[in-house]
Each structure stands twice: as C-alpha cells, then as structure tokens.
Chain A
Amino acid sequence: MTTTTKIHPGHTDQARPRAHHPGLNLGPAHQESEDTREEMVFGFWVFMMSDLIVFGLLFATYVTMLGGTAGGPGPSDLFELKSAFIETMLLLISSFTFGMASLALKYRSDRKVLVAWLLVTLLLGLGFLAHELYDFHKMFTEGGVPSRSGFLSAFFSLVPLHGLHVIGACIWLIALLGQIAVHRLDPPTKTGLMRLAILWHFLDVVWIGIFSLVYLGGIV
C-alpha cells in the first residue's frame, strides 16, 4: 500500500459509519480488512441469493416431476436413507469445522489452528463428494440414469448441481490455502475466507433441503 491519500471515485464521504454484514464480522482487531470486506461480503451475499433462486426453481421442478417416473425406478427404489444420512453428517460436521476455522481467523493470530480446521473441512467436503459419487454410481447400475424419466432428469439436475457447488467450494478452499501460504493472512485472503464460509454454510442449508425433500420425502 502506498502512503499517498487516495480518494476512491464515488466515495465522497470517507467517514461514513461501517455497516456490519450478516454473519460473522471480523471486528475491530482486523481493522485493515474492514475497508474491503463490507462491499465484497455484501456482494457475495447478493450472489448467494441469486444462486438460491436457481436451487428454488430446481426444487420446484423436482417436486412437480415426482410422479413422472415413466415406469422406471422411483424414489423408494433408488434412495437409501443410511447413505444420505452419512452424507448429511459429513456436510454438517464440515460446516461446524468451517465455523471453527472462522473463529480461529477472528480470534487467533496463529495460522496453524486456522489451517488445521480448514484442512479438516476440506477432507469432510471431499468425503461427502466421494460418497455422493458412489451413490450416483449405484443408482446408475440400478437403471437410474438421467434420461430414463422426467423424475430422474429433475433429480440429476438438482442434486449433482449441489455436488458441483461443493466441488467448486473445495477448489476454492485449496486455492485459499495456497493464498494463506503465499500472502499470509492479508486482507484479501481474510475476505476470501469469509466469502467461502458463506458459500460453505449455504451449501449445507441447500443440502438440508435436499435431504428433507428428496431423500426423506422420497422414502416416506
């Protein structure tokens, strides 16, 4: 950073009070991150809401397609509650460990604890993905392919899209671990971690919807 005075175009009032964004705020100990976090984290919330609309549409499509099995395998033939439950637990625990990472980011100057929690989170995310892929593979062998029926098309639009998000979040997490190694915990890395946290918890929330509506609803 240079020491010259910078006036951002459009920011005439430099002394405006700092607004807090929803979720964990880093607080006054991280003053140097405060300048960027408000806009960046807020922007990410807006993106998250638009993403939620996509999932909302796919949920609605799935529900309307429930009866459209075209004589093929239906929910009770294809879904296993035990498997879905394990995936739910993996993702829920990963959300908890990411929460611990966020707390480590806020309260500890030592990077080791933060990185350790992030690695645990990454492993749980990858475990979830492996389990989900195994599930899909099993569905395929039982004739549950996307082209079989409207119901299966809707299923494979909704659930793997969530999985794709988890893959993206894992890649992002690895990239951020690299940024921590290269740049230490500078403000862009911190705001990056805060935005990834929002995505991670969001994916957890969407999965709760999938578990309740698709798996529990399908088996009951």
Chain B
Amino acid sequence: MLCLLIQLWVSVRDRHHNDVFVGDPWDGRSLEWATSSPPPEYNFPVIPEVFSRDAFMAEKEQGKAYQVPDEFPDIEMPANSAMGVIIAVTGTAMAFGLTWYMWWLVILSAMVTLVAIIARGYVRKTTRTIPGDEVRRTHLAWIECVRRTTPVDRSKEQTRENRGLPVPPVEGAVQ
C-alpha cells in the first residue's frame, strides 16, 4: 500500500519531466504506441487497418506513420453514466455486509442496486457524439507536436530528451 502511494506520488511529481505526448518513447512495434499519450478517449480518429504483425513498426519502416486521414467522421462514444460508481459502492457494501452478517446492509445495497438498474432502463441518451471537427483539431494538434519534436535514438531513450519520438529505424539502433 505504501509502495503504491510512493509510486503515485513519484508519478505525479515527475509528470512534466516524463511527458511523452507524442506517444512512442520506446520505439514500440504495435498500435498502442501509434497514438498520443495520453490517448484521446476514442484512441484513433479512424480505425487503423492492419496488414501485418507489428503494424506500427511496419508503418514506421515505410515512413507511413503519423498520417492525417482524408476525412474525420463523427465518433459515437458511450455517454457518461453513474452506474459504474453506484455498483462499485453497493457491491462493496453488499460484500461487506455478507462477510459480517450485517443483513440490513445487504438488503439496503441490494435494493439500491435494483433501483439503479431499473432506473437505468429509462435512460435513452446512452451515447454521445464527438464532432468530426473536434476530432480533426485534436489530431492535427498532435501531428503538429510530432513535427516539432526532435527524434531521439536508443542511446538517449532514458534521458529527458526522449519526448516520445524515436529516430526512424534505418537511422536508429539495430531493431
């Protein structure tokens, strides 16, 4: 628990020092490195098409990484909902009640869960649309950041100069 808190504290303290918004600090091979860090909630502006294993490395080798798609369609995302938090609280309370034979707590949390589930059935707005323009702005800002960033080779990966963009494979270290 203490180590967890220390880790959290160090992560928050060094967040600017270790910022790698470009998203690819370790010259990664697969698609999770092919978007910004932190990524937008929809991960990719358009669904990437994959033609090989290690798709991102293949893109980088062909110089096709960090492309701007021709068009940015609207993206439909799940709308925010309190259900996750409610179930987390009632689930924990119910498990606690069952462990310690606190039946009033078990019944109470079961009832709250049931009411929440029924109420959820009445919700009709379960999705939210992110306009294509917003997606475009977000993506172009990231691409601009990629352009402005100086690539680093493997020898400097662990230094502060690493802002998340490795040098292309042909010039870099042995892959």
Contact = CB atoms under 8 A, between A and B. Distances in A.
A12 B73 CA distance: 12
A183 B122 CA distance: 8
A6 B122 contact: no
Interface residues of B, number: 13
A219 interface: no
A10 B122 CA distance: 27
A109 interface: no
Contacts of A183: 122, 124
Interface stretch (A79-87, A111-119, A174-182, A202-210): A174-182
B161 to A, nearest CB: 35
B122 A182 contact: yes
B74 A9 contact: no
B76 A6 contact: yes
A154 to B, nearest CB: 23
Contacts of B75: 7, 9
A171 interface: yes
A142 interface: no
A147 interface: no
A74 interface: no
Contacts of B118: 171, 175
9 contacts: A4-B129, A6-B74, A7-B73, A7-B74, A7-B76, A9-B47, A10-B47, A171-B118, A183-B124
Given A8-B76, A171-B114, A171-B118, 10 more contacts: A2-B129, A4-B74, A5-B73, A6-B76, A7-B73, A9-B75, A176-B121, A179-B121, A183-B124, A192-B121
